[in-house]
Structure 1
Amino acid sequence: MPQLPEDMVLPEGFVPSQAPQPPAEPRDSATVALVRDTDGGPEVFLLRRVLGMAFAGGMTVFPGGGVDKRDADTSVAWAGPTPAWWARAFGCSAELARALVCAAVRETFEEAGVLLAGPDADSVVADATPYADARQELVERKLSLAEFLTEAGLVLRADLLRPLGNWVTPPEEPRRYDTRFFLAALPTGQRADGSTTEADHAAWQRPQDAIADWAARRSGLMPPTWVTLSQLAEHRSVRELLAAERQITKITPRVVRRNGNLHVALPGDADYPEAS
């Protein structure tokens, strides 16, 4: 795993002076690194979250969000690796794995306008714009993913996703998430638009360029995003990214103080607290 840069310093007040006891229970969530090929190498779709949001306001992130209890609906028409397969990949129950995959598909559609579903197990919609009304109803929670797919006659394409990582918000923070990261290629014909009230900017960038923007202080990145971008930058094509074998390990960063500044420590760092 790439080592975080030493100049990745957290602002004072980022976490309470006293860590919550007991730590807040992490909420399950899913996020998707959506990638596409270009002549200059793979690009990833990124959103800048609106300032003032309760979590990660102003940060550049991948599309994603919390699991809705309706994401576990077993009536979803499903193609690809089974929930049991995803459960083994992420080390969780099959019920939660199903909900995580559905949340990944739903959030990608809600926040990026990209729909990882098709009329059957061997196809994917080439244009998601005809489903704009359903997209808004999903955002407003008037419609569940299962209801949408059933009404539209679509099949969820779990085979278009790959497991990418698993990060848990540090116990020092009052709002925590247990986030499973997924990887997916932009389906042919579709376009990502970033039309969401949760973001004020959206763009495709090469992972290394997104890291360079952070280094130049033109954007903000959370440690899981920085590490994931660094890992994506190691590959030369979307095909290579999708084919890479990954062993998913749950990573829980910790907030520590070094030389008077707040930093994030990762497992393996000398100052990573052994006790949680």
Structure 2
Amino acid sequence: MNGLKLPAEFVGRIEEIGAGRAEPPPARDAATVVVLRDHDRHGLQAFMLRRARSMAFAPGAYVFPGGSVDARDGEAELAWSGPSPAEWAAAFGASETVARELVCAAVRETFEETLVLLAGPTAGTVVDDTRGDAWEADRQALLDRSQSFGGFLDKRGLVLRSDLLRPWAHWITPKIEPRRYDTRFFVAAIPDGQRARDVSTEADQVAWVRPAEAAERAWAGELAMLPPTLATLTELAEYATVADVLAARREVVAYEPTAEIVDGEAWLVLPEDVAHFYPTG
């Protein structure tokens, strides 16, 4: 079976949803960004965070920066450079409104969690350093939602650089999960001069990892990862440099694992063409 064995408590939930006695929660739109760099000795690396054990969703799992769309992420007055919302909509199979929100959420969440900011004073430049008290105050204002992302960019005179992002993947949380996300994955190079830092209260550890090595450690049970994360790392392991990743042509397909009961046990069934990316039971 192309699947993963689930804890016993999922048996009842699978039965309830399957019988129509329970409704799966709606999946919230979310964005994840794989921030990449070229290392002199280690080659291509991706930035990852380990979610704190106290988190309700995926505690202890290694993830990429990202999070849910904020209601104000699609503000029309936001300064924008690069592929239009219509182009992102075509890439991700979404409406223009959702596509705009996803790109904004991708840039905002990456800044909130790592201080990496894919924006600049002009359409052809990017901020070279985001460290300091003033930047931290802005980050905190974004976190507590006292400031919108569009307001943050406008105050600093910055333009969102959607051309620094590339579409990579689309995963939807299974219907049996109490928290569900409709997540689009992006890839991006860390801008010159910027430094990724652990500034998130949601993470207790961060690291730059070689995709192949991180995937191998997940297969060995040393690192906890959700299937979309491991699938993405395994795909990235095929590339030698950031430039190779950004130049890759991707047809983004939506993947949504399902759940079944087999011989009285709960199983998460992975889409057939990505199941080999994850160690199965």
Write the mapping of 1:191-230 to structure 2, written as runs, cut at 5 A: 191-230=195-234
Question: 2:15 and 2:187 mapped to 1: Cα distance?
Answer: 36
Counterpart of 1:68?
70
Among residues 115, 118, 121, which one is paired with 1:119 in the alignment? 121
Among residues 86, 89, 102, which one is paired with 1:87 in the alignment? 89
Question: 1:19 and 1:210 mapped to 2: Cα distance?
Answer: 36
Unaligned residue ranges in structure 2 (runs of 5+) = 276-281
Letter matched to residue 59 of structure 1: A
SS at match of 2:110: helix
Counterpart of 1:266?
270
SS at match of 1:42: strand
Does structure 1 retain, via aligned residues, the 8 Å contact 2:10–2:176? no
Q: Does 1:139 align with 2:143?
A: yes
SS at match of 1:230: helix
Unaligned residue ranges in structure 1 (runs of 5+) = 272-276
Counterpart of 2:28?
27
Q: When the two structures are superposed, what TM-score results if normalisation uses the length of structure 2?
A: 0.89
Q: Does 1:252 align with 2:237?
A: no
Letter matched to residue 126 of structure 2: V
SS at match of 2:72: helix
Counterpart of 1:51?
53
Q: Does 1:10 align with 2:9?
A: no
Question: 1:17 and 1:255 mapped to 2: Cα distance?
Answer: 7
Counterpart of 1:274?
none
Shift of 1:258: 5.2
Does structure 2 retain, via aligned residues, the 8 Å contact 1:35–1:186? yes
SS at match of 1:224: helix
Q: When the two structures are superposed, what TM-score results if normalisation uses the length of structure 1?
A: 0.91
Question: 2:98 and 2:225 mapped to 1: Cα distance?
Answer: 28
Counterpart of 2:43?
41
Distance 1:258 1:220, change over 3 A: farther
SS at match of 1:165: strand
Does structure 2 retain, via aligned residues, the 8 Å contact 1:19–1:173? no
CA RMSD of aligned residues (A): 2.0
Shift of 1:40: 2.4
Write the mapping of 1:115-194 to structure 2, written as runs, cut at 5 A: 115-130=117-132, 131-194=135-198
Shift of 1:264: 2.8
Distance 1:234 1:259, change over 3 A: farther
Shift of 1:13: 3.0
Among residues 93, 109, 112, which one is paired with 1:110 in the alignment? 112
Does structure 1 retain, via aligned residues, the 8 Å contact 2:168–2:186? yes
